[in-house]
Amino acid sequence: MATTHRKRGAELEAAILKAAWEVMQQTGYDQMTMADIARAAHTNKNTIYRRWDTKFEVISEAGKHYFETHPDLIKFAVPNTGNLRADLIALMTLPLPAVQAMGIHNLKALALDMFPRVSSVKFDFMNDNYFQRFLNDILINADKRGDLKTPPAEIPAAAKGQPTLLMLSYVLSERPYDAAAVVSLVDDILLPVLTR
């Protein structure tokens, strides 16, 4: 009689996260259920609910897991090309592999699912994300080179929040977020706003 290996701990969690990612790719975030994830992971819903309260939490964690196990897809480093425009283009290009891997429709559904939680939980995404952190470093470097008229500390937070908001607007409207969109966003919006 063959015995089946029962996954536990980190092995079980990795299997659930892998299954969640695969179900999202096959079914779509908006259509998938916790039961779908459980079936694909060969476990039960209770096991999943012990770790995560919502599919938003599972997929958020599954996305982190996916990109950690596929480090070649996203290279997170502060752009420092010696030119503000090139740095901003590099910054806005960073999420392109994630957008392609997840799919714009899944990202939109995930973002829409996230918004009801904004007021109910501590939500720092808009102020503390890699766009904001990297942009701050880019602006400091640009200021050192003399590329800015206003010191980074005096640039309004609303202006510094533009990269995140622009990316989010593309996701929510399901417009193509590609290299051409990035150049347009940088030339038409970010450079004029940040260098005035």
Residue ranges of domains in the chain, CATH in brackets: 9-69 (1.10.10.60), 84-194 (no CATH)
Amino acid making up residue 25: Q
pLDDT of residue 30: 94
Q: Which residues, including other chains, have CB under 8 Å from residue 154's CB and lie 6 or more apart?
A: none
Here the tokens at position 25 are 């790719």
50 — phi, psi (to 5°)?
-70, -25
pLDDT bin (cut points 50, 70, 90) of residue 165 is: confident
**Predicted pLDDT of residue 126:** 56
Closest C-alpha among 73, 77, 92 to residue 180: 92
Alpha-carbon distance of 49 to 55, in angstroms, equals 9
> Which residue, 26, 23, 8, is CA-closest to 34?
23
Name the band, by pLDDT with cuts 50, 70 and 90, for residue 121: very low
Pick from 47, 25, 30, 29: which is nearest to 38 by CA? 47
Write out pLDDT tens, residues 51-109: 999 999 999 899 889 888 888 777 778 999 999 999 999 999 988 888 888 888 898 89
Is it the case that residue 123 has pLDDT exceeding 90?
no
Query: What pTM value is reported for the model?
Result: 0.75
HSE-CB at 87 with a 13 A cutoff on CA atoms is: 23
CB atoms within 10 A of CB 78: 17
Q: Supply the pLDDT for residue 62.
A: 93
- Give the residue among 189, 180, 195, 104 at the shortest CA–CA distance from 145: 195
- What are the Cα distances from residue 194, in Å, to 75, 84, 131, 165, 191? 24, 10, 14, 14, 5
Q: Counting runs of H as helices and runs of E as strands, what totals does the chain give?
A: 12, 0
